[in-house]
Every structure is written in C-alpha cells, then in structure tokens.
Amino acid sequence: MIVDSHLHIFPFLDGPCGFPSRAEHIQRLQYYVVGHGQPVRRLADDAVVPNGSLQLFDATARGPEGLADVNFRVTKNGRFEWTQDGEDRYIHFMPPSLATNEASAEAMLAQMAYVGVDVAVLQNAHLYGRLNDEFADAVRRFPGRFVGLAEVDEPRAHTAEEIESLRHAVHDQGLRGLYYANRGFLWDHFQHSFDDERFDEFWNTVADLGIVVFWELFGIPQHTRQTFLAEVDRLLRWQNRFPTIRSVLTHGLGADLILNPPWPIECLFRDERITIEVLYPIGWGRNHEYPYVELRPVIRELYRRVGRERLCWGSDMPNVERNCTYRQSLEYLRRCADFIPPSDLDLILGDNLARLFMLGPS
C-alpha cells in the first residue's frame, strides 16, 4: 500500500474557506507567504523584487498587526498578488498548472490514480482555511482513499468550543488526526505555546481520542535554525508529558540537521513516539534537479539513525508541482534510496502510516 502522508484539498483560496470572513483567511495566506522561497516578481515586467516576501510583514511585530496593508489577493494559475510601493507584485505560491487555485477531492484522486497512490492524508494548514467540513465530505464520499486531519485554532485550543469541535471532528465527522501549526500563535502575539499548562485539557482530550498529531513546528516568519531547534526541544519535552500521543513531524528535517545533528535532533532521532516525514522536493527542488542525487547521503543517514518504522513519505501535493511532478516526488525516493531493502521501503512508502491509522488493504 502506498500512502501519501501530505496532500491537500481546498476550495478557491480567495474566499473565506471556513473562516468567518474572507479577510481573516487572507491574513493567514499573507502570513504563509512571508519568507517563502519562491521569488516575488513585479507584475508589469516579471522582474524579481529582492526580499519581496519579507516586505509583507514587519519583522519587529509579534502579531497580525505586522502584516502590511497591500490588498493581498488570490488570482489564477497559482499566483497570489498584492500592491506595494506603487506596483503590483506576485508570487507563484502554487504551481502555474493550478489554474483555478483550488484542488478538489476528485482532482487529487485522479492524480493519485495516475501515480499509483492508494491513500492520502489530508493536511490542513490554515492558509487553506478551516476545512473540517470539506475533509469530512471527502472522507465520506470516497471511503478508504483519504485520511482527514482536523484543525484547531491553536491559541484558543484550551476553550470548551475548540475542544468540543475536535471531539465532533473525530466522533461525528470521521477525521482521524490533528494538524497543529505553531504559526497560529501569531494571533496570540506568541504569548503562549503548545506546551503551556492552559492547554493540558486539550492535549488530554487528544490522548483520550487516540489520534495522531501532525506538527508544523515553524513559528515566526523569520525562523532560523536556532528557533527551529528550540521548538524541537519543546516538542520533546511536551511528548514526555503526554507519552501516549503519537506524533508526525511534517516537512521533515533539513540535510544539515541530519548529517550534523545537534543535541535536540539526536534526541528526536531516538524518540519512538515521533514519526518523521520524508518530504524533500517541495524545498530541495527549488535549487536542485530531479532525481536529486545529492540527497542520497542524507536519506541514508536518516534511515540509519531513525530506522525503517518511523519514516513516512509525503509529497505536499499539489504544491510540489512547483518543482517536479507528483510521480517524480515519489520516484526520487526509490532512486535515491536503492540501498534500502524493498520490504523496508514499503514501510516508508505507506505501511508505517497504514499501521498508524489502522488502514485496511487498498
């Protein structure tokens, strides 16, 4: 069974997408663009604007008031546009092939069938919206093909409303995990974090529900190696407080952290409760050519340190098509990891997640 741990479905992104208003959703979209690796260009002549995405947010701010007032908007063909310093600018946050800037369940199922992916885990970062209802609908209409992750308003996760929403998502809507993004704490001015005691009831509920947590650890837009390592350390300490919860670290780890691991990463490698996504083309493919042969020593070391049962393959589809095709986002791993025995590679490509979510045969 091949299981993609990281796939998205979403409606046209220029609407509310489950938020109370379009404006609230657009704020999240703009926030996710800050510091993004794709170049920002002027609409008039396609010239690159140096540090264009960083100009969307005041680096000294700790809350949403730092977002620049630029009429941020979603258009077509993967583009997000805005007006700043008297000129219209854009970024290809999505691939140009995404003509309508939406990804329906039907479209993603066609992509999966074309590549040979049996099941996909639907991840739900806030840039796509608050999509529990959409995910539940996809799970209901296409049984056995999608595993839906619930979302939460992270700063308000301690409230009765958010805790009940999570219970409803699992018990009534059939969602089987939680997507949790540290970026959400911008709307709390980063006064708190996920390991604060105020969230203990929420995490106890997660433990009682028996669901897996998929972590987006990146927080502030100008994140650094040190801020990331601090969050890994925080995650490990949190994991010790809630030892029965299983976790998946989304977006994987950078090559330098694997080849020369500092202490928090060494500890992460040893923690049997945490699975790590193997997901490179979405970032690596910006500066390297398929089949990414430079990744071979990285994957070898990751496999050696973490083992066959705590790695899972993910694509970040449809976003990954900025850099390569969906098929290539799968095939590169088979090419780069030919040193991994076929039975172990089967685990990484799907069987580990099938066991984690107790999935039946395809």
26, 144: one domain: no
Residue 3 contacts residue 120 (beta carbons within 8 Å): yes
- Alpha-carbon distance of 159 to 3, in angstroms, equals 34
Express each pLDDT in 66-79 by its tens digit. Answer: 999 999 999 999 99
In which order are the strands placed within the sheet that holds 40-42? 40-42, 87-92, 79-84, 73-74
Both 185 and 62 in one domain: the answer is no
Q: Which string of DSSP letters, residue by residue, matches 83-146? A: EETTEEEEEESS-TT-TTS-B-HHHHHHHHHHHT--EEEE---TTT---HHHHHHHHHHSTTTE
- Number of residues that this document lists for the chain: 362
The residue-averaged pLDDT of 308-337 equals 97
**Which residue segment(s) compose the domain that 77 sits in?**
22-92
Same domain, 144 and 287: yes
- Average pLDDT score, the chain: 96
Last residue of a domain, one of 74, 92, 110: 92
* pLDDT value, residue 222: 67
SS3 187: helix
Closest CA to 77 of 106, 109, 123, 43: 43
User: What b/e sequence results for 135-171 when a residue is b if at least 16 CB atoms lie within 10 Å of its CB, and e otherwise?
Assistant: bbbbbeeeeebbbbbbbbbbbbbbeeebbebbeebbe
The answer to whether 67 touches 31, Cβ cutoff 8 Å, is yes
122 and 33 part of one domain:
no
Would you say the C-alpha torsion 280, 284, 285, 291 has a positive or negative sign?
negative
Report yes or no on 84 lying in a domain.
Answer: yes
- The pLDDT of residue 219 is 73
211 within a domain of the structure (yes/no): yes
Residue 16 located in a structural domain: no
Least confident of 30-34, 129-133, 218-222: 218-222
Read off φ and ψ for residue 128, nearest 5 degrees.
Answer: -85, -20
Measuring CA to CA, which residue among 296, 294, 290 is closest to residue 321?
290
Nearest to 290 by CA among 332, 251, 335: 332
Asked if 225 contacts 263 with a C-beta cutoff of 8 angstroms, the reply is no
Q: Is the pTM of this model over 0.95?
A: yes
Q: Return the number of other C-beta atoms located less than 10 Å from residue 346's C-beta.
A: 16
Domain boundary pick from 63, 92, 121: 92
> For residue 360, what pLDDT band results from cuts at 50, 70 and 90?
confident
pLDDT computed for residue 59 by the predictor: 87
The Cα–Cα gap between 311 and 5 comes to: 10
pLDDT single digits (tens) 245-287: 999 999 999 999 999 999 999 999 999 999 999 999 999 999 9
- The β-bridge relationship of strands 40-42 and 87-92 is antiparallel
Expressed in percent and rounded to 5, the helix, strand and coil fractions of the chain are 40, 15, 40
**Phi, psi (rounded to 5 degrees) for 81:** -125, 160
**Is pLDDT of 182 > 70?**
yes
pLDDT at 223 (0 to 100): 76
CA 95 – CA 316 distance, rounded (Å): 12
Amino acid at 303: Y
**Number of domains observed in the structure of the chain:** 2
Per DSSP, what are the bridge partners of residue 81?
73, 90
pLDDT > 90 fraction of the chain, expressed in percent and rounded: 96
Q: What integer is the mean pLDDT of 13-42?
A: 96
Is residue 242 included in any domain, yes or no?
yes
Q: Which of 47, 63, 92 is the last residue in one of the domains?
A: 92
Tell me: the pLDDT tens digits for 214-254? 999 987 666 789 999 999 999 999 999 999 999 999 999 99
* Distance in Å from the first CA to the final CA of the chain: 6
pLDDT of residue 362: 46
Residues 75 and 202 in one domain: no
The span from the CA of 102 to the CA of 106, in Å, is: 11
The pLDDT value recorded for residue 197 is 98
**One domain for residues 154 and 204:** yes
**Which token pair is 288?**
């390297």
What is residue 221's predicted lDDT score, i.e. its pLDDT? 63
Query: In terms of Cα–Cα distance, which of 192, 274, 268, 196 is closest to 229?
Result: 268
If asked whether residues 158 and 210 sit together in one domain, one would say: yes
d(CA 103, CA 52): 26
Q: How many CB atoms lie within 10 A of CB 263?
A: 10
In this structure, the answer to whether residues 216 and 317 fall within a common structural domain is: yes
